[in-house]
Amino acid sequence: MVDENGMYLTNSPASEKLTDFELLELAKCSDRSAFTEIVKRYKSRIASTIYGMLGKCDEADDVGQEVFIRFYKSMENFRGDSALGTYLTRIAINLSLNEISRRKRKSIVSFDKMMEDGSDIQGNNNSVKENENREIIQLALQKLSAKYRTVIVLRLIDGYSTEETANILGIPLGTVLSRLTRAQIKLKEYLQPHMLET
């Protein structure tokens, strides 16, 4: 059965067992369930990348959708030079950076103000809850400039190796290492008064 857009409406239960490559080949032939399986497989990884880059905000979900739409449109050109996850992460990073530039132009949020608010919340409660910690880290991440935030998100949140991070960003390994060091020193400075003593 085919829907109005020419996508096959097969509901293959076996798609979960297929490799990325096999799913991709099926998705290229308009197999909807194969494309859905790819989305299911990678959406949490893409979510962590985007939320890491943008913080908790409504736009993150929209950027997530856009990542898979871009992928859907460019699927034909994907030659498999890199792993599918790496390819999607690269799209996610690029779109997140676009969103950050858009925010800069519009100056939507003052992150310093948010950080102050975060510290107020913490100051009122002696016992720091886990989600508060998470929020404070998210806010501290937003204080980093985009180039430092990107390496932290890829390496420490997404769990890519430094080599993979360099490959995704298209920068030398040495640059990734030095950015990682500087970013972690800055994060520690931001977070030390809030978290490390707890």
Partner 1 sequence: MKNKRIEKLIYKNLDGTLSNKELEILKHEWDISEPVREEYQQILELRDKINESGIRKFKPLFEERLLDKLSSGKQLKIVSTGWTGSLGVSFRQIALTAAIILALLITYNMKNGNYYSIQNLFGDSNNNLEIAFDPVQNLLGRIE
Tell me how far, at minimum, the Cβ of 82 lies from partner 1, in Å.
21
Quick one: 14 or 196, whose CB is closer to partner 1?
Answer: 196
Tell me how far, at minimum, the Cβ of 145 lies from partner 1, in Å.
16
Say how far apart CA 129 and CA 46 lie, in whole Å: 26
Q: Are 85 and 19 in contact (CB under 8 A)?
A: no
Quick one: 7 or 18, whose CB is closer to partner 1?
Answer: 7
Say how far apart CA 48 and CA 177 lie, in whole Å: 21
Helix axes 84-106, 32-54, angle to 10 degrees: 50
CA angle at residue 144 from 116 to 110, to 5 degrees? 40
Tell me how far, at minimum, the Cβ of 73 lies from partner 1, in Å.
8
Tell me how far, at minimum, the Cβ of 194 lies from partner 1, in Å.
11
Where on the chain is the footprint of partner 1 (CB under 8 A)? 3-5, 7, 32, 36, 39-40, 43-45, 47-48, 51-52, 56, 59-66, 68-69, 72, 95, 98-99, 102, 130, 133-134, 137-138, 141, 152, 155-159, 162, 173, 176-177, 180-181, 184-185, 187-188, 191, 195-196
Tell me how far, at minimum, the Cβ of 7 lies from partner 1, in Å.
7
Quick one: 86 or 157, whose CB is closer to partner 1?
Answer: 157
Say how far apart CA 118 and CA 130 lie, in whole Å: 13
Say how far apart CA 108 and CA 102 lie, in whole Å: 9
- Residue among 70, 50, 5, 35 nearest 149 (CA): 50
Quick one: 33 or 87, whose CB is closer to partner 1?
Answer: 33
Quick one: 83 or 108, whose CB is closer to partner 1?
Answer: 108
Say how far apart CA 188 and CA 198 lie, in whole Å: 14
